[in-house]
A and B are shown apart, each in its own frame.
Chain A
Amino acid sequence: MAGIYVHIPFCKSKCSYCDFASFPDKLCYAESYMACVYREMAKRKDELKGYEFDTLYIGGGTPSVIDEKYVAMLLASARKNFKLSENAEITIEVNPGTVSAGKIALYKKCGVNRFSVGLQAAQDNLLADLGRIHNLKDFLSCAKLLKGENFSADVMFGLKNQTAADLEKTIEIAAEAGASHISAYALTPEDGTPVYTDYLNGELPDGDEVAALYEAGLKKLRALGYERYEVSNFCKKGRQSRHNLNYWDRGEYIGFGVSASSHINNVRFTNTFDLDEYFKCILSDNFAVVDSEKIDEEGREEEYIMLRLRTAAGIDLAKFKSLFGADFKAKYSAQMKKLSGSLDADEKTVKIKDEYLFVQNSVIVEFFD
Chain B
Amino acid sequence: MDKNNIRNFCIIAHIDHGKSTLADRLMEKTGQVSSRDMENQLLDSMDIERERGITIKLTPVRMFYTAKDGKEYVFNLIDTPGHVDFTYEVSRSLAACEGAILIVDASQGVEAQTLANVYLAIENNLEIVPVINKIDLPSARPDEVKREVEDVIGLDASFAPLVSAKEGIGIEDVLEAVVNYFPAPDGDENSPLKALIFDSYYDNYKGVILFVRIKDGAVRVGDKIKTFRSDKVYDVVEVGVFSPNLAPKDGLYAGEVGYIAASIKSILDVAVGDTVINAESPAAEPLPGYKKVQSVVFCGIYPLDGSRFNDLKEAILKLQLNDASLIFEPDTSVALGFGFRCGFLGLLHMEIIQERIEREFGLEIITTAPSVSYKVVKTDGEVIFVDNPSHLPPPSDIEHMEEPIVHADIFSPPDYLGQIMDLCREKRGTFLQMTYLDKSRVRLEYDLPLNEIIFDFFDSIKSRTRGYASFDYELKGYERSKLVKLDILLNGEACDALSMIVHEDSAYSRGRTLCENLKDAIPRQLFEVPVQAAIGGKIIARETVKAVRKDVLAKCYGGDITRKKKLLEKQKEGKKRMRSIGSVEVPSEVFMQILKTNKD
Indicate if the CB atoms of A186 and B575 lie closer than 8 Å: no
In which size bucket is the chain B interface?
Answer: 20 to 34
From the candidates A186, A248, A270, A341, name the one contacting B552 in the complex (CB within 8 A).
A186
Residue in A closest to B553 when the chains form the complex, CB atoms = A361
User: Are A263 and B558 within 8 A (Cβ)?
Assistant: yes
Question: Given that A210-B550, A368-B569 are known contacts, is A359 also in contact with B558, CB under 8 Å in the complex?
Answer: no
Q: For residue B578, give the distance in angstroms from its CB to the closest CB of chain A.
A: 12
Q: Does B139 contact A (CB under 8 A)?
A: no
**Cross-chain contact of A247 among B526, B558, B565, B583 (Cβ < 8 A):** B558
Q: Which chain B residues in 546-600 approach chain A with CB under 8 Å? A: 546-559, 561-562, 564-565, 568-569, 571-572, 575, 583
* A contact residues around B32 at 8 Å (CB): none
Is A310 a contact partner of B556 (Cβ separation < 8 A)? Answer: yes
A362 at the interface (CB under 8 A from B): yes
Cα(A307)–Cα(B525), bound, Å: 22
A125 CB to closest chain B CB (Å) equals 23
Residue of A nearest to B567 (CB): A361
Q: Does A328 contact B (CB under 8 A)?
A: no
CB-CB contacts of A231-264 with B at 8 A, as 1s and 0s? 1100000000000100110000101000111110
- Tell whether, in the assembled complex, residue B559 and residue A232 are in contact, meaning their CB atoms are under 8 Å apart: no
Q: Which of B526, B553, B554 contacts A356 (CB 8 A)?
A: B526
A214 to B549, CA, bound (A): 10
Residues in A with CB closer than 8 Å to B552 are 186, 231, 357-361
- Asked if B159 lies at the interface with its beta carbon under 8 angstroms from chain A, I say no
- List residues of chain A with CB within 8 A of the CB of B546: 208
Whether the Cβ atoms of B550 and A362 lie closer than 8 Å is no
Give B90 Cβ to nearest chain A Cβ, in Å: 53
> Shortest Cβ distance from A254 into chain B, in angstroms?
10
Q: In the assembled complex, which residues on chain A have CB atoms less than 8 Å from the CB atom of B562?
A: 261, 268, 270, 291, 293
Query: How distant is A188 from chain B, measured CB to nearest CB, in Å?
Result: 5
| Chain A positions 286-306 with a Cβ under 8 Å from a chain B Cβ | 291, 293, 302-303, 306
**How distant is B212 from chain A, measured CB to nearest CB, in Å?**
57
Query: A183: nearest residue on chain B (CB-CB)?
Result: B555
Task: Assess whether A260 is in contact with B559, with CB atoms less than 8 Å apart.
Answer: yes
- A369 neighbours in B (Cβ, 8 Å): 572
| B525 proximity list for chain A (CB < 8 A) | 362
Q: Does B458 contact A (CB under 8 A)?
A: no
Smallest CB-CB separation from B562: which chain A residue?
A268
Is there a chain A Cβ closer than 8 Å to B181's Cβ?
no
Tell whether, in the assembled complex, residue B559 and residue A211 are in contact, meaning their CB atoms are under 8 Å apart: no
Determine whether the beta carbon of A358 is less than 8 Å from that of B550: yes
> Could you tell me the distance between the alpha carbons of A263 and B561 in the complex, rounded to whole angstroms?
10
* The one of B549, B564, B575 that contacts A208, using a Cβ cutoff of 8 Å: B549
| Contact present for A186 and B557 (CB under 8 Å) | no
- Report whether A247 and B561 are in contact in the complex, using a CB–CB cutoff of 8 Å: yes
Contact residues in B for A363 (Cβ distance below 8 Å): 526
Q: Among residues 1 to 19 in chain A, which have CB atoms less than 8 Å away from a CB atom of chain B?
A: 5
- Closest A residue to B574 by beta carbon equals A365
A317 within 8 A of B: no
Complex partner residue of B551 from A310, A362, A368, CB under 8 angstroms: A362
Complex Cα spacing A307 to B564, Å: 10
Chain B, interface SS category: loop
A113 at the A/B interface (Cβ < 8 Å)? no
Q: How long is the Cα–Cα vector from A363 to B527 in the complex, in angstroms?
A: 12
Q: Is the CB of A259 within 8 A of B559?
A: yes
A-contacting residues, B347-395, CB 8 Å: none
Alpha-carbon distance A258/B553, docked complex (angstroms): 23
| B583 contact set on A, CB distance < 8 A | 338
Q: Are A211 and B550 in contact (CB under 8 A)?
A: yes
Distance of A365 Cα from B574 Cα, bound (Å): 10
| Pairwise interchain contact A270-B575, C-beta atoms closer than 8 A | no
Q: In the complex, are the beta carbons of B549 and A247 less than 8 A apart?
A: no
Is A247 a contact partner of B550 (Cβ separation < 8 A)?
no
Q: Are B559 and A364 neighbours in the complex by a CB distance under 8 Å?
A: no
Contact B558 A208, beta carbon cutoff 8 Å: no
Interface 1/0s, chain A 191-209, versus B by CB < 8 A? 0000000000000000110
For residue A185, CB closer than 8 A to chain B, the reply is yes
How many angstroms from the CA of A342 to the CA of B572 in the assembled complex?
18
Residue of A nearest to B580 (CB): A338
Q: Please name the residue on chain B nearest to A359 by beta carbon.
A: B551
Distance in Å: Cβ of A130 to nearest Cβ of chain B? 15
Q: Report the minimal beta-carbon distance from B474 to chain A, rounded to whole angstroms.
A: 51
Given known A-B contacts A260-B559, A261-B561, A365 and B554 have beta carbons under 8 A apart: no
**Residue in chain A with minimal CB distance to B564:** A306
Give Cα distance in the complex from A361 to B571, angstroms: 8
Partner of A244, one of B527, B557, B568: B557
Contact of A302 among B555, B559, B565 (CB under 8 A): B565
Of A211, A261, A291, the contact of B558 (CB 8 Å cutoff): A261
Chain A residue at minimal CB-CB distance from B546: A208
Are the C-beta atoms of B558 and A253 separated by less than 8 Å? yes
Select which of B526, B561, B564, B575 is within 8 A of A359 by beta carbon.
B526
Q: Once bound together, how far apart are the Cα atoms of A207 and B549, in whole Å?
A: 7
Shortest B569–chain A CB gap in Å is 6
B116-153 Cβ-contact flags toward A at 8 Å (1 or 0): 00000000000000000000000000000000000000
Q: Are B559 and A188 in contact (CB under 8 A)?
A: no
B565 touches A303 (CB 8 A): yes
B558→A360 contact, CB < 8 A: no
Instruction: State the CA gap A166–B553 with chains docked (Å).
Output: 23
**Are A255 and B571 neighbours in the complex by a CB distance under 8 Å?**
no
Question: Which residues does chain A contribute within 8 Å of B571, judged by CB atoms?
Answer: 361, 365
In the complex the two chains form, is B548's CB within 8 Å of A362's CB? yes
- A-B residue pairs in contact (CB < 8 Å), sample of 7: A208-B549, A255-B558, A255-B559, A262-B558, A268-B562, A356-B526, A362-B525
Q: Which residues of A line the B interface, CB within 8 A? A: 5, 185-188, 207-208, 210-212, 214, 231-232, 244, 247-248, 253, 255, 259-263, 268, 270, 291, 293, 302-303, 306-307, 310, 338-339, 341-342, 356-365, 368-369
Task: List B residues at the A interface (Cβ < 8 Å).
Answer: 525-527, 546-559, 561-562, 564-565, 568-569, 571-572, 575, 583
Q: A188-B553, A188-B554, A208-B546 known; 6 other A-B pairs, CB under 8 Å?
A: A207-B548, A208-B550, A310-B556, A341-B526, A362-B551, A368-B568
9 shortest interchain CB distances as A-B pairs: A211-B549, A261-B559, A207-B550, A359-B551, A361-B551, A211-B550, A368-B572, A365-B572, A186-B554
